[in-house]
Amino acid sequence: MRFFLRSPQFKKTVAIVAVILTLAIVAGLIGGHMSPQAGILGAVAAPFQQLGNSVINAIDTTFSNFKSAAALNHEKEQLQNEVNKLKEQLSEYEEAVNQNEFYEKYLNIKDLNPDFQFSPAKVLSFDPDDIFCGFTVSVGSFNGISLYDPVITDEGVVGYISEVGITTSKVTTVLDPELVLGAFDSRTGDAGVVSGGTEYVTDGYTRFYNLPRTCSVAVGDLVITSGSGIFPDGLIIGNINNIASDPISSSLFATVTPTVKFSELKQVMVITDFEGQGNHLTDGE
């Protein structure tokens, strides 16, 4: 193919086509000003005139199509801009609806606990190295967040603030053995302590321990905060799923399934103030 393009035959063919096109265009332009009685010149020019008109019409059509395509692209861009604006408005609307639903879920908690002060927070990321589902939230000291502030959802206790930055904070969950809080069985009133453990986290459990052998706790009972530690009283922790004897002491303990699904968390509430806040629970208390 490369040799053919360089051959004399190809070059002659291109030259002949160029001449014919030139004559056709000139004939078309001249023919437009000639009278039908132009004689021999008119007869000779006629075919070239027709060819010229065809070439000119083809050029006009090409430019017309080009203009139409440009107009269509412009219209397409305008429509896409409108679509983008509508998507943005829809996103803002959905976010507003979600926020309203989020706040409505806490109205009952607020009604029952008028002393609670809340700060909403978004879950930014989970710590991949934390087997106890610790995560970072979008609020910090700038938002009035303090160390050990309780973190909840409308479903129950999540954990507490264990590290505070200016605009973000770290949350330690109830699955973590570092978190220790007073709790009791809502049905029987039997009191104990809730804290996580490595032997239970795989199943998503935390532990309710230091229960006397005379207690009446049962599988399915609801465990709630007692208010004796860093958490206010009456917050749901989870449900008892198993009861066993402590191999070291003479007490009983129960494993508890938290009501909060940590892997699904997107937003939480931080309780920044409540009556009696500051009574920190330490190990052994």
Instruction: Decide if 279 is inside a domain.
Output: no
Q: What is the tens place of the pLDDT at every residue in 139-161? A: 999 999 999 999 999 999 999 99
* Of the listed ranges 35-44, 78-87, 225-234, the one predicted with least confidence: 35-44
- Helices (DSSP H) in the chain: which residue ranges? 2-6, 8-31, 40-104, 107-112, 198-201
Looking up residue 178, the CATH number of its domain turns out to be 2.40.10.350
Same-domain pairing of 51 and 9: yes
Residue 256 and residue 227: Cα distance in Å, rounded?
A: 18
Same-domain pairing of 121 and 87: no
Same-domain pairing of 216 and 264: yes
Instruction: Decide if 234 is inside a domain.
Output: yes
Longest dimension (CA), the chain: 129
Instruction: Decide if 111 is inside a domain.
Output: no
Give the sign of the dihedral formed by CA 196, CA 118, CA 154, CA 101. negative
The boundaries of the domain holding residue 35 are: 1-104
| Tally of domains in the chain | 2
Q: What is the tens place of the pLDDT at every residue in 37-46? A: 445 545 555 6
Band (pLDDT 50/70/90 cuts) for residue 247 is confident
